Amino acid sequence: MGISDQTIYNWKKKAENGTLFIDEPSSPASTGQLEGYNFLLESRTIPNDEMGEWLRCRGLHSEHLTLWEQELRYRLSNKENEIKRENQQLKKEKKELEKELRRKEKALAEMAALLTLKKKQMRSGGTTRKNDFT
């Protein structure tokens, strides 16, 4: 298996004492997104010849930086697609609302014309049928 008997013995002792932490809070797997992105930004300022030391000091591997970068790109592209979909939906709603507004404006203009005709007819002393304009 490649693990010495002494290491296994020490792990068993720590597990019995409750001091064995399999996934420590400082491990890269449990690093939060924001902290990972901060590491990624900070790593961009480190020269290549000092990168190994910087990674060791933080308990990281270069693969972690690659994974965080891929995750960041994925999230940004999803956000961009989400914004495009929302924009298309808003354009569609705007078009429908404008269509409804035009329809209502036409109906209002028609009602105003009918009301004007009714008033003119009443002023001139004309009679109207009972079912007209009610």
- Both structure tokens of 15: 């597990």
First to last CA, the chain: 94
The answer, as to whether pTM is greater than 0.75, is no
Dihedral of the alpha carbons of 5, 9, 15, 16, in degrees to the nearest 10: 150
| Distance in angstroms (rounded) separating the CA atoms of residues 12 and 106 | 83
pLDDT tens digit at each of 134 positions of the chain: 678 888 888 888 888 887 776 655 455 556 777 888 888 888 989 898 988 898 888 888 888 888 888 988 888 888 888 999 999 999 999 999 999 999 999 999 999 999 999 999 888 876 656 665 55
